[in-house]
Structure 1
Amino acid sequence: MNKKGHVLNAILLALGLGLILTVDPRNFQPTTDSAFALAENVAMLSLPVVLGALFPDVDTAFGKHRKTLHNLPVLAIFLAFPLIFGNLQYVWIGVATHYVLDMVGSKRGIALFYPLSPQEYDLPTGVATSSKYADIVTVVVTVAELAVLAGIHYYLFSLDTSLSSATTALGALMI
């Protein structure tokens, strides 16, 4: 995807995640307080998600695009961010969804295991970044990403939990 697609993805993610973190569909009652909570969550999420969603393309200025900063070791670094920078706990979501958008939404994949392997991985669902369908594909992929994040949040563990708590919850599910 191009920069416009990643910005669109990040904005929709911030709005959608704000909604997911604010609204429990099982017992939601719309009130003025819930509207303010939604606005606060969207504002809190916007900067880290947008930064995360745009960061991998910094490798266009140096290194090899879709390799240097488009890989699992870089994502692991961002997963560890909350341990050091607690207020940036959602940056990893922006980075991860950038990878998904590049793998699913565009014709060219990303090198997930770089620098160990330059092999690029993708799905056959993508379009050219200059395609007239690029924005539509971006929205469809973003809705799918939000559906997965909502499923995780409502059924596995809360997305606003710490990394150690989420790891513990996942470990309990594995047993």
Structure 2
Amino acid sequence: MNKRGHVLNAVLLSIGLGYVLDPSGDVSTFATIAEVFLPVVLGALFPDVDTAFGKHRKTLHNLPVLLIFLAHPVYHGGNLQWVWLGVVTHYVLDIVGSKRGIALFYPISSTEYGFPTGVTTSSDRAEAVTVAITLFELAAIAALVYVLPTYLPPQAAEIVANTTNVVV
């Protein structure tokens, strides 16, 4: 995917996430969208900073970088707690949506992993693929927020509810 695709994904994901976390459809939903919008967009764009240095789809497109972003909210929280989601969705778009894939195990291995479902970044189907992947991501997030807690022990369900601000 190109920058336009990642931004499209992040914008649509932020809007959908606002409705998943606060489905009321009133002012509080729009406040939730505003809260997650900037961190998700920043996270979605961050991995492509490696176009300015290093090796693109290797230097910042790997599991060690993702682990750093996943650990950030645990240690710091605050208004950037959703950056990790932007990074994850960037990886998903590059793995599932593009022909090339990413080097998940870089610097140990430069092998790039991707699904055969991807299109080239210049394809006229790139935006449609981006929207389809975004809808899949939103469905997965909704399942994690609303379905998974019913199968978790009460303490774990409470942690999910506190993390997402959703009543389960």
Residue of structure 1 equivalent to 2:30: 39
Q: Give distance in 2, aligned partners of 1:18 and 1:85.
A: 18
Alignment of 1:81-120 (within 5 A): 81-82=72-73, 83-120=75-112
Q: Give distance in 2, aligned partners of 1:4 and 1:100.
A: 15
Residue of structure 1 equivalent to 2:129: 137
Residue of structure 2 equivalent to 1:172: none
CA RMSD of aligned residues (A): 1.4
Displacement over 4 Å in runs of 4+: none
Residue of structure 2 equivalent to 1:8: 8
| Structure 2 unaligned regions, length at least 5 | 150-159
Residue of structure 2 equivalent to 1:161: 163
How many angstroms does 1:80 deviate by?
Answer: 1.2
| Structure 1 unaligned regions, length at least 5 | 24-29, 163-175
TM-score (norm 2): 0.87
CA contact (8 A) 1:152 1:159 kept: no
Q: Give distance in 2, aligned partners of 1:58 and 1:161.
A: 29
Letter in 1 for 2:42: L
How many angstroms does 1:100 deviate by?
Answer: 0.3
Deviations 1:82-128 (A, max 9, x none): 11242211110000000000000010010011111111100000001
| Same amino acid, percent of matched pairs | 64
Q: Give distance in 1, aligned partners of 2:51 and 2:65.
A: 15
The number of aligned residues is 153
TM-score (norm 1): 0.84
